[in-house]
Amino acid sequence: PREYTLSGTLNLTLLAPFVDESLRGEAKIAAKLTGDLADPAVDAQLSVADLALANNTLGDVKGSLVRRGESVRLADVEVSGPLGHVTGDATLSTAGAMPIEGSVNLQAVNLDTLLRVAGVQLEMGHAVTAVVGVSGTIQPLAFDVNANGMAARNLSASSPGEQSAETGHQLATFEA
């Protein structure tokens, strides 16, 4: 089979007009495409230094993308910075109802920053440590979100704050 390589760097501020938000960071990609260019197998590594969206600095992002036929997998995704530490994986099929499944691990993630990135201005003063699972379909859009974890208020080295634990709860079901 034929093999192609691709590598590049992109200043993300150039993409800001397409996402209708301020965007900052430098993306680097290294990819290998194997097989027919009309339907290649793809193995790619992506990193973004100092990613910021909507004037909120998220930090450094890295991960890999693997495409085989109708399956696309995001693996070993990691975000580290002012938001906290987030890792995750997801798999999406481009066939039929486009099923999606994934998980995200949040470690001391600042909820105020996370909500601001989502466009919600709410000062809760909490950080969350949790495992969140998502499963569902894209066509039609329907998914379940389940979470296990805890939230702590006013986290600091000198003041551990109040903590509450929640386990085994279905957080949300969404259908459109």
Type and span of the H or E element at 96: none
pLDDT at 94: 87
Q: Let me know: does 107 contact 114? Beta carbons within 8 Å.
A: no
Q: What pLDDT band is residue 168 in, cutting at 50, 70 and 90?
A: very low
Span 56-95, pLDDT tens digits: 888 999 999 999 999 999 999 999 988 889 999 999 998 8
Span 39-62, pLDDT tens digits: 999 999 999 999 998 888 889 999
What's the pTM? 0.74
Q: Let me know: does 46 contact 62? Beta carbons within 8 Å.
A: yes
